[in-house]
Structure 1
Amino acid sequence: METFENLVRAEFAPKHTYLNTASNGLLPARTVTAVQQAVRMRAEGVPLGPLYEDVEAARACFARLAGVPAERVATGASVAEYGALIAASLPAGAEVLTAEADFASLVNPFHERGDLKVRAVPLERLAESVRPGTALVAVSSAQSADGRLADLPAVREAARRHGARTYVDASQSAGWLPLDGDADDFVAAVGFKWLLGPHGAAFFVAPPDFGGLTPLLAGWVAGEVPWDSCYGPVREHAHSARRFDISPSLFSHAGLRASLELVEEIGVDVVHAHDVGLADRFRAGLAELGHAPVPAPGSAIVSVPGLGHRQDELSRAGIQVSDRAGNLRAAFHLYNTAADVDRLLDALKA
């Protein structure tokens, strides 16, 4: 069996110090090859059946990472479309509880309804803020802006106690933080960050009974027999969560299949230990420099208040990080090393 280091070295060769996975993950070599092959198939006019097989293989791989049957996984383009389906299922006046300043793709569909009561509270108060009448708690497992982790066990317990459902956006954690897709009512995640896939693909875990969702976006691929559902209304929706699919971006799923297979081959537990270890090394170095990051223990994302203005300077020096609301955000993933951490710390000394 190949070692972690050998696998990573074979797949990644970044030209710069790349610490920005919270924005976009790097593509493994195998993923680049898979996308190129998919494009070539389109150019040559050969049958595209293998690309539809990639969609199902990617679905099955994500399902294994999430610990749920593939029949409970839908695939589309964005978490926002799944939030919209959930929002559409709620009765007028229902209360949706969210964390303050959570990512727009998660919270915006509930605001767009116009007739829901959307209440935002500080992340650390989310569980205690669930109350009688709360219909849904929607939260990112890891906050995009600063990497803080939601206390999901506490949120789930409070939601159960008050009869509310939970919806988790795992876009900033799936791939480095173990995912329990069976613990929440709804889970969504994009594939282009920590799962290392191309843009244009996302996953959704629905409950076994579909949670009262209507497949409002259903096209031909949402039929039980897709090729028999091409004309007129879909007469029979898929008996699985595929009823919530939209027509797949075949190039994206071809690449994402390869990326997910790499994550699965390495193992999320191994990636987690590696990523958090580097983030902790960065936190320790920041303390020595007199900087205090936003408290986010156990996270692979580190956000440093007041240093966001240095993002352009660091980029010119070949160090890729983000500026989020004035904070410098660094995100550590499997292709990063201790040398990357130390290079960023050395740059911040200047």
Structure 2
Amino acid sequence: METFESLVRAEFAPENTYLNTASNGLLPARAVTALNEAVRLRAAGRPLDSLFEDVEAARAAFARLAGVPVTRVAAGATAAAYTGVVAASLPAGAEVLTAENDFASVVNAFHVRGDLKVRAVPLERLAESVRPGTALVAVSAAQSADGRIADLPALREAAREHGARTYVDFSQAAGWLPVEADAYDYTVCVCYKWLLGPHGAGFLVVPEDFGGLTPILAGWVAGENPWDSCYGPVAELARSARRFDLSPALFTYTGLRHSLALIEELGVDAVHAHDLALADRFRAGLAELGHEPLPAPGSAIVSVPGLGHRQPALSEAGIELSARAGNLRASFHLYNTAADVDRLLDVLSG
């Protein structure tokens, strides 16, 4: 029987100490193999039907991870595009509540509308700031800059009390933090971080009744019968969330299908426990070195003030992290080990 460790060892062999999943996840070997096979398929001029099947297999896998029926999942490319769809659904003058300094893809579309009332508050005050007249609350489940986790249950209750809709971005959470997409009106997630997929795939989860969204980005793939929807206006939009599909990056979805299969085999709960143990080991080591990370309890992302300037030297030493807002950001995922944490601490200690 394969263990967590043996499954991971079979899929990953990084050439450095890679602690930067919050920017880009590593590709598992099975996804690399699938990508190569897809490229050869196209180079040989063979039919690409199997690649479209991969899109559906990836959609189904994400639906299982998100805990929703597959009919509620749209397949696209970026969070920003789907934020635009949500933003376009709001009437002029509607109030949108966001967290201060959240990732641009989650908030920018509401600002560029120009006719919405966008209000930003500290993340820890988000739930208490929902008020009568708030139309939508948009937030990342885990903050990109520092890993802080939003109090989503409190937000859900506050939104329900005041009749507001909720839009949650799980891009920095799905893959290590359990996702309950059914608890929110709309959720979005890109897949090249903790879900270990190639760039160019993302999913939007919508209510069964589509929650008032209009498929303003719909093309032929959004038709109930896509191959009959290639010319002229789409005669019949898909009766499921596929009406919000964007033309898929086929190679990307082929790789993603296999990446998601690995996440399912390992189990999000096991990945969660593994990632948090490493993050907590790093936090404890930082305390011994006299450094205090930004508070982000329960997060696999750890940001350390005042150390962002050390990122280039760490990269030269073969340790990959990010510098964000002057902070050194480390993010720990399933392919990382205690030895990775200790090597980082050793280099930081000088």
Q: Quick check: TM above 0.5?
A: yes
Number of the residue aligned with 2:166: 166
1:38 aligns with 2:38: yes
SS at 1:137 equivalent: strand
In 2, Cα distance between equivalents of 1:225 and 1:112: 34
Q: Spell out, residue by residue over 1:262-318, the C-alpha distance to the aligned partner (whole angstroms, 9 max, x if none).
A: 000100000000001100000011111111100000000000000000000100000
Distance 1:331 1:265 in 2: 22
| TM-aligned CA deviation for residue 238 of structure 1 | 0.2
Q: TM-score, normalised by structure 2?
A: 1.00
* Distance in 2 separating the partners of 1:205 and 1:245: 11
Q: Which residue in the other structure is 1:302 paired with? A: 302
Report the CA distance between 1:323 and its aligned residue. 0.2
> Which one-letter code corresponds to 1:44 in the other structure?
A
Distance 1:314 1:81 in 2: 34
User: Post-superposition shift, 1:76?
Assistant: 0.6
Structure 2 match to 1:138? 138
Unpaired segments of 5 or more residues in structure 2? none
Mapped to 1, the partners of 2:288 and 2:321 lie a distance apart of 20
Secondary structure of 2:181 counterpart: coil
Structure 1 SS opposite 2:297:
coil
Structure 1 moving runs of 4+ over 3 Å: none
Distance in 2, matches of 1:147 and 1:81, equals: 23
Corresponding position of 1:3 = 3
**One-letter amino acid matched to 2:50:** P
Shift of 1:126: 0.4
**2:47 paired with 1:47:** yes
Distance in 2 separating the partners of 1:188 and 1:38: 26
- Please give the residue correspondences for 1:1-350 in structure 2 after superposition, counting only pairs within 5 Å: 1-350=1-350
For residue 225 of structure 1, report the CA deviation from its aligned partner. 0.4
Secondary structure of the 1:291 match is coil
- Letter of the aligned partner of 1:296 in structure 2? A
Deviation (angstroms), 1:127 = 0.5
User: What RMSD in Å do the two structures reach over aligned CA positions?
Assistant: 0.5
| CA deviation map 1:147-183 (0-9, x unaligned) | 0000000011100000001100000000000000101
Aligned residues: 350
SS at match of 1:182: helix
For residues 96 and 318 of structure 2, the distance between their equivalents in structure 1, rounded to whole angstroms, comes to 42
Equivalent-residue separation in structure 1 for 2:267 and 2:297 (angstroms): 21
Question: Which one-letter code corresponds to 2:319 in the other structure?
Answer: I
Normalised by the size of structure 1, how large is the TM-score?
1.00
CA distance in 1, matches of 2:153, 2:287: 30
Q: C-alpha offsets along residues 55-98 of structure 1, whole Å, 9 cap, x if unaligned?
A: 00000000000000110000111011111011000000000000
Cα distance per residue 1:162-217 (max 9 Å; x no partner):
00011000000000000001010000000100000000010110111000000001
Given residue 113 of structure 2, which amino acid in structure 1 is its aligned partner?
A: R
Partner amino acid for 1:48? L
Distance 2:294 2:157 in 1: 26
Q: Using the alignment, how far apart are the partners of 2:332 and 2:66 within structure 1? A: 21
Code of the aligned partner of 2:290: G
Cα distance in structure 2, aligned partners of 1:73 and 1:82? 12
Distance in 1 between residues matched to 2:181 and 2:163, nearest whole Å = 19
Deviation at 1:112, TM superposition (A): 1.1
Distance 2:243 2:62 in 1: 17
Give how far 1:52 is off. 0.2
